[in-house]
Amino acid sequence: MKKIQILGTGCAKCEKLAETAKQAADNIGLDYEMEKVTDLNQIMSFGVMSTPGLAVDGKVLVAGKVPSQADIEKLLG
């Protein structure tokens, strides 16, 4: 099971990333759990300075933008 983490304070882009990542993971049939990381210190501990960020199993894959669902599927696949 993969752990998908959405790094952000709850802004509109963060919500959009969470929604898009969930659709992408469901679309490829991924076994996952999703967590929203909203604590700024925790977000910065990932090395992310601009939100939103997407981390999988503790590794940051995207920061500062909301990629397309197809791009997220490629990252998760």
Known active-site residue 18: no
Known active-site residue 24: no
Q: What is the mean pLDDT of residues 19-42?
A: 97
Catalytic-role residue among 6, 14, 21, 63: 14
Task: Give residue 46's pLDDT.
Answer: 97
> Sheet containing 32-37: which strands, arranged edge to edge?
32-37, 2-7, 53-56, 59-63
Catalytic-role residue among 9, 11, 23, 77: 11
Cβ distance 4 to 33 under 8 Å?
Answer: yes
Task: Give residue 61's pLDDT.
Answer: 97
Cβ distance 59 to 75 under 8 Å?
Answer: no
Pairing of strands 2-7, 53-56: antiparallel
Hey, what domains does the chain have and what are their CATH numbers? 2-76 (3.40.30.10)
Q: What backbone torsions phi and psi does residue 26 show, to the nearest 5 degrees?
A: -65, -40
Task: Give residue 62's pLDDT.
Answer: 97
